[in-house]
Amino acid sequence: MIGGDRHLTVQEHERIQLSSLPGGLTAERLVAVQAEDLHDPRKKTFTPFSRVGEQVRAPGRVGVVDVDGVVVEILPKAGHRDLGSSAAGEQLSERQVERSRQVVEALVHAFLQSGPMDDHRSARTLNPTRLQATRGPIRERVHERFVEETEILLPHRVRMGYTAASERLPYLRGRLDLGRQSRQLPGQEHRFHVRYRRFDAARPENRLIKTALLRVASRSPRADLRLRAHQLAGLLDEVPVSHAVAADLAQWDRGRLLEGYRAVEPWCRLTLQPLLGTRVGADQAESLLWRTENLFEKALESALARRVVAVGADLEVVSQAGDVVEHLGTDEAGEAAFRLEPDLLLRSRGDAVAVIDAKWKQHDKRGSAVPDLSPSDDDPSEEAATSTKPRPLAIGREDAYQLFAYGHRYLKGRGPMVVVYPASLKFTTPVTYQLGELTLTALPYDVADDEFLLGHRDSATRRALGDLVPLLSPPGSSSATHKTRSTT
């Protein structure tokens, strides 16, 4: 945890001491926050913070919440080999904070690429090396990406269109508004109430972009970003700001004529998202909060899809959105029972060749993973095996049983099954188990560096994964030899 006069940085699920709340922020104000669920198409709200005695518990999400001018930034506990849980009251180092922010940006970018904005895939590919150069809190990273994409769009590709207009003019234009004209005061007969469609740049997309630019120009603490946003807003000088953000967002046109706007849209939405629906009691607040497990699943799917294209293997990546749902059997009425739905399947010519499941858990190689990276009363790790104590497992029993069922149903009892956990200080080396003709591997994935940590060249994991090693290797490595096609 890192605190300041108007800024508090914590990790997901961390318990915040009341004495550490900055800027007069109280526990009552925090637990009263009602935030919009960015993952729910019905836009339901939830309460992110909860009171636990003399502490406030941070949510199992990442992002920012602005309450009474105090920004609470919630960062992940894993996702990079330099990260791990901090002890109670322990200060995060600046390096850990920056690494955590890089993880969040990579996760959010993968989420945007997968189509969370009304199922529209629009974000550009993110080079992991770019994350190393970007610094600053999560909200500033969102603002910077929005400004960068807008600089590519403007000034040469501003799309104009017809918008409805209603004016009182000294001449006729379009259609006469008879209702308003009949109610006009005497002596004003030379003025005409008219309705017409005007061809200009004041379409919903441009109104939203200008509103977001002015928001960055007025709220960003970075002088260079404020200047860039202000200059871009000047290019839309004749475009009015949006006075109905939610309605304009619903009217965003994703047709072929607005192809150039696709990369701007998701970052514009995120910049304007705090204006939509988050409250502290009856007061307006701002938040951007994502469920880390959802982000991690999308990041894993995106990473595999990129590698499938890069290495050219004869594989396809099928997610839960595809036709991967099966059942173990039926009930007495003959209805399907015990639903099976792995996160990802790798297929070759229609046949499943590997099952991959994403688990956002704080993994400890000495013991089983901790669900959802939340604090537990039981220490998940165990001491090294002795002659009287069985050796601890590196994969939780529930995860193992789940993957075992997947393996027999989808792989017919033979092939590799992979549980992907976020890399952390305690988990940088994969662990593999032999389950008959099935292999079960706990594999760390470094989100910020976009790298699966496969271990040394002669590791049991590489032997168990076999032909999947080129796919899981860093893009462009010499081991990429297969042919692929992606249908995610």
pLDDT in tens, the chain (488 residues): 666 567 889 999 999 888 888 877 888 988 888 887 777 766 678 888 999 988 999 998 998 888 878 888 999 999 988 887 665 556 778 888 888 999 998 898 888 776 544 444 444 554 444 444 455 678 888 899 899 999 998 877 788 878 788 888 888 888 888 888 888 888 887 888 999 888 888 889 999 999 999 999 998 888 999 999 999 999 998 899 999 988 898 889 888 888 889 889 888 988 988 776 566 665 556 788 889 998 999 999 989 988 888 877 778 888 865 566 677 777 777 776 777 888 899 988 888 899 999 999 876 655 445 444 444 333 333 333 334 445 556 788 888 888 999 999 899 999 999 999 999 988 889 999 999 999 999 999 999 999 999 988 777 888 888 888 888 887 655 554 444 434 43
Element of type H or E holding 446: strand 438-446
Rounded to two decimals, the pTM is 0.76
Q: Rounded to the nearest 5°, which phi and psi values hold at 411?
A: -105, 5
Compute the half-sphere exposure of residue 37: CA atoms within 13 Å on the CB side of its CA.
Answer: 12
Compute the C-alpha angle 73/76/77, nearest 5°.
Answer: 125
Torsion 308-309-313-315 (CA) sign: positive
> Which bin fits 273, alpha (ψ -120 to 50), beta or left (φ > 0)?
alpha
DSSP symbol at 351: E
DSSP symbol at 362: B
pLDDT of residue 383: 39
Do the beta carbons of residue 247 and residue 211 sit within 8 Å?
no
| Of the candidates 141, 422, 455, 467, the residue with the CA atom closest to the CA atom of residue 297 | 422
Q: How far apart are CA 255 and CA 290, in angstroms?
A: 28
Give DSSP secondary structure letters for 396-440: -HHHHHHHHHHHHHHSTT-EEEEEEEE-BTTB-S-EEEEETTEEE
Q: H-type helices in 235-320, by residue range?
A: 245-250, 265-272, 292-311
Q: How far apart are CA 262 and CA 241, in angstroms?
A: 20
pLDDT of residue 360: 92
Q: How far apart are CA 307 and CA 451, in angstroms?
A: 11
Q: Rounded to the nearest 5°, which phi and psi values hold at 451?
A: -140, 130
Could you tell me which residues are beta bridge partners of residue 434?
A: 439
| Of the candidates 212, 269, 258, the residue with the CA atom closest to the CA atom of residue 236 | 212
Q: How far apart are CA 294 and CA 283, in angstroms?
A: 29
Could you tell me which residues are beta bridge partners of residue 283?
A: 280
What are the respective helix, strand and coil percentages of the chain, to the nearest 5? 30, 25, 45
Torsion 54-10-113-234 (CA) sign: positive
Q: Which residue in this structure is represented by tokens 């956990």?
A: 421
What structural domains does the chain harbor? 161-200 (no CATH), 293-472 (3.40.1350)
Could you tell me which residues are beta bridge partners of residue 348?
A: 351
Q: How far apart are CA 311 and CA 475, in angstroms?
A: 7
pLDDT of residue 415: 93
pLDDT of residue 162: 81
pLDDT of residue 443: 93
- What is the Cα 433 distance to its own chain's centre? 31
